[in-house]
Amino acid sequence: MNKIYLSGIVAEPPVRGIQEGALEHACFGLWVSHRTRQGISKREFYPVHGWNGVAAWAAAHLRQGQRVMVQGYLTQRRVALQGGGMVTVNEITAEELFPGGGDRLVGDKPAESHGEDMPAAENRQIGISKED
């Protein structure tokens, strides 16, 4: 079984587009915080992809700095680097989005905005692991 639930902060507004075959697609970044065994707070960044209805809702309702819960599954893909070599990119494919970090969406209820400070985009970890 491949199922994941993450609650975090929208790091960047969703980018919406149409893929081949007229599939609607949206992608946004999600900051997630957790504590290690040593009690140290750690922040991680994950790219989140949504398709069709999830993509349309994300593009219409999600804003940077807003808390959201994502229910979906993990995916990986291999990407070629410009300088040569390959990396494996870990991403989340969203099946459902819950505004406010856990309250189920009812109709077109707007999501609550949370203005938490996040590290600059250039300082984030992006779910990439290098391979030889």
What pLDDT score does 19 carry?
77
- Confidence (pLDDT) at 18: 86
For residue 103, pLDDT over 90 is answered with: no
CB neighbours of 77 closer than 8 A, spacing ≥ 6?
A: 88, 89, 91
Task: Tokens 């940077």: give the residue.
Answer: 64
- Taking each continuous run of H as one helix and of E as one strand, the counts in the chain are 1, 7
Contact 28, 107 (CB under 8 A): no
Dist. CA 53–CA 65, nearest whole Å? 22
Note the pLDDT tens digit of each residue in 18-42: 877 778 999 999 999 989 999 999 9
Give residue 9's pLDDT. 96
pLDDT tens digits for 43-65?
999 999 999 999 999 999 999 99
Domains for the chain: give ranges and CATH numbers: 4-131 (2.40.50.140)
pLDDT digits (tens, 9 = 90+) for 60-93: 999 999 999 999 999 999 999 999 999 999 999 9
